[in-house]
Amino acid sequence: MQITDLTVTLSKNLKTIISGFTFTLNPGDKAVIIGEEGNGKSTLIKLLYDPALIEGYASFSGTVFRGAETIGYLPQEVDFGETSVYEYIFGEAGYGNETEIAELGSLMGIPMEFFYSSQKCSTLSGGEKVKLHLAKTLIAEPDILLLDEPSNDLDLQALEWLETFIRDCRQAVMFVAHDERLIETAANVIIHLEQVCRKTVPRHTVARLPYTEYIARRARGLEHQEQIARKEKADYDSQMERWRQIYQKVDRRQEGITRQDPHGARLLKKKMHSVKSQDRRLEREADNMTQIPDVEEAIFAGFDPANIIPGGKVVLDLELSELTVAERVLARNIRLRVGGPEHIGITGRNGAGKSALLKKIAEILFPRRDIKAAYMPQNYADLLDFTQTPVEFLAPSGAKDDVTRARNFLGSVKYTSDEMLGAIAELSGGQKAKLLFLKMVLDGCDVLLLDEPTRNFSPLSNPVIRKALREFPGAVICVTHDRKYLSEVCAKVYRLTENGLITVSIQNQN
């Protein structure tokens, strides 16, 4: 695939999100697209697959030459309608390559009977939906794979398979991902999309390097550039101070000279002309000075350290004989005790009932008056009114002080004024996630119930989010498949099975 001078502009505000992007996807390339929320990663993937997918909200110029015969595309969200799993995989006529499907299912941790299920696709868990669509995409044996967040909601077994598959498959792959371990393992090309100068100027970087090397080299480059810029600025300030001293001296002498000394006046006038010429030269030099690096810093307003829970306090003491969803028993004999400021991680296979368990815990903790619990679901629409603005969500009272505080917090996570006052529906998944985190901060919550909290943050933002949660002085109960989160944030990790919660070693999640 050859991309030449591609520029993408949003229709609603004529904002350019990608400018002059040129790139060749070669055989063997496993190119990951990274960047902060709203920088056009998903838009780029959609455009490369089918320009019609962006017609409703963006336009583009430039050319895309697709040399591949077949292109496979995995969107972030698939509308399955009322199709059953069997109909989706085999078609209504029941025709399909059963051997190949069985092999794929084995690799992805999907039993063959799952593909023959009459269960509606819309009722599957998030991870099951991703696996199902990815399996159908791979059955067609495409020459190029365009994958938008393929790791979203996958369980640990499927994540490990996905890493190996992307790294070793014959197809060229371009994918958007937030899972750092996946990027580190599978990608050999980095495409970094940025919005700098207060999100007004798009910038892109292409590096044919492993991710860890790219991040390290980028950090060294930015640090070196900043050192040079600060040295040049200090030298410039020193020169300007000397210039001001000379200017003031000549200016005072001009004011004090009399008409009886015309020769001296001419000399001072000539001297002042020379001083002003030097000022213009210094201004030209300033225009060409090295600038402090303008980057999209991953900023997050940290939690209040006062929202601490004492070590001896019992946050949760749960005994659940059965965990059911739609009259289907997912697990039995669940026992979970959380005390003080513990940080707990819960993993398990897709469809095991992790999200259902977290909702059950939320129902138990919300009525409590001795703690203040917050819940972050996988589906943000469960909590967010998409017709509201971010400011209205954070400051529902509309009081001036509350609105000012909300705007300050939104600004701290790089929301622009337009984003603060626009509909939540127009925000990216990561921006919506930041909104929910800000609500927890503003509400002073001391117990956080989080369902896949890092799934929509960029690999550059995720380390910041992990640090904030690691240092959170309250209790955290989190459902996640993010291996870096499990190892860096959680003191205890449990796997949800049919027979309840089993303690697992954190090291095993690395």
User: pLDDT tens, 291-311?
Assistant: 777 665 666 667 888 888 998
Locus of tokens 């004090």: 256
Tokens for 201, please give them.
Answer: 């100027």
Tokens for 417, please give them.
Answer: 């004024």
Phi/psi for 470 (5° steps) reads -65, -35
Enumerate the β-bridge partners of residue 451.
479
pTM score of the predicted model: 0.80
Residue from 137, 205, 169, 113 nearest 460 by CA: 205
Which is higher by pLDDT, 199 or 237?
237
Residue type, 111: P
Distance of CA 315 to the CA centre of its chain: 30
Q: Which CA distances in Å does 144 have to 66, 120, 130?
A: 9, 29, 18
Tokens for 198, please give them.
Answer: 């207060």
Percentage of the chain beyond pLDDT 90 is 53
User: Residue 198 pLDDT more than 80?
Assistant: no
Element of type H or E holding 5: strand 2-10
**What confidence score (pLDDT) does residue 63 get?**
97
Tokens for 260, please give them.
Answer: 């009886």
d(CA 212, CA 206): 14
* Half-sphere exposure for 318 (CA within 13 Å, toward CB): 26
d(CA 207, CA 216): 12
Radius of gyration of the chain, Cα coordinates, nearest whole angstrom? 28
Which is higher by pLDDT, 413 or 354?
354
| Cα-Cα-Cα-Cα dihedral sign, residues 259, 260, 262, 268 | negative
Longest dimension (CA), the chain: 110
Q: Directed axis angle between helix 126-139 and helix 98-108, to 10°?
A: 140
Average pLDDT over residues 333-346: 96
pLDDT band for position 428 (50/70/90)? confident
Residue from 94, 106, 103, 158 nearest 129 by CA: 158
**What confidence score (pLDDT) does residue 492 get?**
95
pLDDT band for position 503 (50/70/90)? very high
- Residue pair 502/336 in contact by the 8 Å Cβ criterion: no
Residue from 204, 148, 199, 152 nearest 173 by CA: 148
Determine if residue 421 is left, alpha or beta; phi over 0 gives left, psi from -120 to 50 gives alpha, anything else beta. alpha
Tokens for 107, please give them.
Answer: 């690799």
**What confidence score (pLDDT) does residue 313 get?**
93
> DSSP string of 284-343?
HHHHTSPPPP--------PPPTT----TT-EEEEEEEEEEEETTEEEEEEEEEEEETT-E
Q: Which CA distances in Å does 181 have to 290, 341, 481, 509?
A: 35, 27, 11, 11
d(CA 178, CA 192): 12
84: DSSP letter: B
pLDDT tens for residues 89-145?
A: 887 544 556 777 888 888 777 888 888 889 999 888 777 888 888 888 888 889 999
Phi/psi for 52 (5° steps) reads -65, -25
Residue 296: Cβ-neighbour burial (10 angstroms; 0-12, 13-18, 19+): buried
pLDDT band for position 26 (50/70/90)? very high
**Number of residues that this document lists for the chain:** 510
**What confidence score (pLDDT) does residue 22 get?**
98
Residue from 213, 501, 222, 246 nearest 352 by CA: 501
Tokens for 245, please give them.
Answer: 């001293």
- Residue pair 482/159 in contact by the 8 Å Cβ criterion: no
